Structure 1
């Protein structure tokens, strides 16, 4: 694939950014099925949040082109081949992961309307409606905005400049892969869909990982790439589930129970390596202190905010205190990873727990230092559920710089979940 030539020839009508409803993360489809089964009538609002306000998206991205891309996504539906793959493939060792009733619904789905408005140098982009439908906007909306921003920066580059840029980017990634190669126990997956440079670039990065790391590269979160490249689709669940369940709670008692209600529903549907705890939505330590004993039997934990080493140490202490052997448990690191941190964490926890890495933005969008003024550097853009049935959602995280929600509700959640002082850490991506 000559990516530079494809970029040079970009015309959205023949080269749309999002090509398929399964050009999304695998965990989104797993969560969607859970929501479809357990909370199908919940009404939610998702909103775009640009944490990197210095990136003026509305000045970089033409509103008409953004609307064309979003409108194109609303025309997409599952192809016969995609449906067959979801219905018949084996995921995490289980055949028919997706239920018949869910697949019948998904096969008829078109994504609901969006609401777009320019406010200063930023865009307000929101999606409202039934939770199973609206939640599927998150990943494609982010992918569109990230790629349109990249196309805007690349637009005035000459063909030779583009060829040199992508050659340098390829070399940069390959050097990272070479640094990872000497680690025989490495277990790493691509988690980079939502803030990728482009679909074509993510696909190239995945192929490079396959060739460079062999079986130590365990798969990709991107369903379309997993299907096309015959790879494992990787992913479990995300903060969205406890955030919405918590927003629906009618009392402080129900609020305190909400994160465990999420995992109880998940426990009924999944087993093995899909039983991964994401504990940091309302603070990891408090979550684990109050966790029911049946959660200690789950396979592992994903660390997605705060100091990753301290998060893993907290998990190890918890397992030990509950009579579990941490060496039999899996810790997945997934927050802002790059090679140095992957190597450091791999060495620190070798032999103490099973370790895996979900490598995201700095795998699929590391163009830092490759353009004048660093205009292609990745930035922190998210699309989150901000309300459920009219009630605001809240996320506390283990890093207060990632917290979101109305201030009074944040304070209430801190009280209910016993969250004290937290260390602020820079949010890179």
Structure 2
């Protein structure tokens, strides 16, 4: 097993580049990329980093030259022959040929496009503009670079023994959390922690710990590279960027109102089975369910990713019942800011009423709360979101207005089109 503390102390760039493979990304990126490759190859999309936790001065902590060095390294990466073979031959979700030969050929030739980096006060402006099929690939590795450079900056002054104690405490905390989760009946859980991980080696260690501690209750990891190396399932479906781009491309309010369902029609044409999981909160879960076509209720499940998880789960149950579906046969994936206490609360409320699964993210792969110097390793909220599509602004509303993205006037327009009523703003930890 890797001695993480020693590797952190003796950072050798060639041994530990932050992103070491095109596959060091989330599985849903590849699934979405294949659909984009099929339908929207000529759409131009800009992504940008948004640090929601302005109190974390990234530009003061992270050296710009070092950041550029790692971003440039990512631009040099390409899919290896072994990685290509894994994608071509592995059975994902029970389907052997998940990815078509022409998409794999494109991925084999893919290189990350140019980026724009500029310091703005104590923060960085980092954006990616170009064909959607290319810029979408930057989201996960860009966030991983920033998060790990932040971790390295905070721990840079620590000695060998300080680092050993730091990681021993973090390991103990994780193992205690795993033991608490093991008491939940019919537990199903996956690692969703790539985007805001403490570091690659730490995420890999967390996956190994859950594999041992939870056994069959551990479904797999969203990280393709770790899934390949550890021989576990690669887990993922889709993300908010799909409805955000489809909505931005809508020529009028009527088309805008239909955009979230147009996404689902295209997704259903591309994938089946357990990949048919609805993400309803981009423009408000309640209105989404009110207008969703009946055929969507036949999908496998729903991912609850913002707002109160109990309310989100209850909305899904009511929607399934309305369309004559049996909720006990439906899947609800909870994935927003999960810690062990929240998972216990959700389980107590829904166990036996629906099939429950958890996508454990930042508080799995970056739970150093109170362990770092002066709280410097506490997780913070940073995202990489769609800014525009074909020059038109992109918007996300969410069930928590704190997570809203887009120009204020466009947010108000979307709120009107999607009949978003009063929302309760809650703090976003991660």
The TM-score range, normalised by the shorter chain, is: over 0.9
Q: Distance in 1 between matches of 2:373 and 2:155?
A: 11
Match of 1:355 in 2: 356
1:142 correspondence with 2:146: no
Give the superposition deviation at 1:11.
2.5
* 1:91 aligned counterpart, secondary structure: coil
1:119 correspondence with 2:120: yes
CA contact (8 A) 2:154 2:373 kept: no
Q: TM-score, normalised by structure 2?
A: 0.99
1:25 correspondence with 2:45: no
Q: TM-score, normalised by structure 1?
A: 0.99
- After superposition, the C-alpha distances for 1:211-241 in whole angstroms (9 at most, x for unaligned) are 0000001100000000000000000000000
CA contact (8 A) 2:78 2:109 kept: yes
Q: Distance in 2 between matches of 1:171 and 1:418?
A: 46
Match of 1:283 in 2: 284
Q: How many residue pairs get matched?
A: 429
CA RMSD of aligned residues (A): 0.6
Q: Distance in 1 between matches of 2:372 and 2:380?
A: 15
Q: Distance in 2 between matches of 1:71 and 1:229?
A: 27
Match of 1:206 in 2: 207
Give the superposition deviation at 1:321.
1.1
Please list every run of at least 4 consecutive aligned residues from structure 1 whose deviation after the TM superposition is greater than 6 angstroms: none
- After superposition, the C-alpha distances for 1:106-152 in whole angstroms (9 at most, x for unaligned) are 10000000010011110000000000000000000000000000000
Q: Distance in 2 between matches of 1:23 and 1:15?
A: 13
Give the superposition deviation at 1:202.
0.1
Give the superposition deviation at 1:401.
0.3
* 2:8 aligned counterpart, secondary structure: helix
CA contact (8 A) 1:23 1:140 kept: yes
Give the superposition deviation at 1:50.
0.3
Q: Distance in 2 between matches of 1:411 and 1:78?
A: 42
Match of 1:96 in 2: 97
Match of 2:8 in 1: 7
Give the superposition deviation at 1:426.
1.1
Match of 2:398 in 1: 397
Q: Distance in 1 between matches of 2:13 and 2:55?
A: 27
Q: Distance in 2 between matches of 1:375 and 1:44?
A: 34
- After superposition, the C-alpha distances for 1:30-60 in whole angstroms (9 at most, x for unaligned) are 0000011011100010011000000000000
CA contact (8 A) 1:12 1:69 kept: no
Q: Distance in 1 between matches of 2:57 and 2:349?
A: 39
Structure 2: runs of 5+ lacking an equivalent: none
Match of 2:378 in 1: 377
Give the superposition deviation at 1:182.
1.6
Counterpart mapping for 1:292-331 below 5 A: 292-331=293-332
Q: Distance in 2 between matches of 1:375 and 1:428?
A: 14
Q: Distance in 1 between matches of 2:53 and 2:90?
A: 39
Match of 2:407 in 1: 406
* 1:336 aligned counterpart, secondary structure: coil
Counterpart mapping for 1:156-167 below 5 A: 156-167=157-168
Q: Distance in 2 between matches of 1:313 and 1:183?
A: 20
Give the superposition deviation at 1:299.
0.4
Q: Distance in 1 between matches of 2:27 and 2:16?
A: 23
Match of 1:183 in 2: 184
Give the superposition deviation at 1:347.
1.5
Match of 1:274 in 2: 275
Give the superposition deviation at 1:361.
0.1
Give the superposition deviation at 1:100.
1.0
- After superposition, the C-alpha distances for 1:379-407 in whole angstroms (9 at most, x for unaligned) are 00101110000000000000000001111
Q: Distance in 2 between matches of 1:14 and 1:339?
A: 33
Match of 1:220 in 2: 221
Match of 2:239 in 1: 238
Give the superposition deviation at 1:344.
1.0
* 1:110 aligned counterpart, secondary structure: coil
Give the superposition deviation at 1:322.
1.1
CA contact (8 A) 2:281 2:399 kept: yes
- After superposition, the C-alpha distances for 1:77-121 in whole angstroms (9 at most, x for unaligned) are 000000000011000010110011111111000000001001111
- After superposition, the C-alpha distances for 1:181-235 in whole angstroms (9 at most, x for unaligned) are 1223100000000000000000000000000000001100000000000000000
Q: Distance in 2 between matches of 1:414 and 1:22?
A: 37
Q: Distance in 2 between matches of 1:15 and 1:230?
A: 21
Match of 2:196 in 1: 195
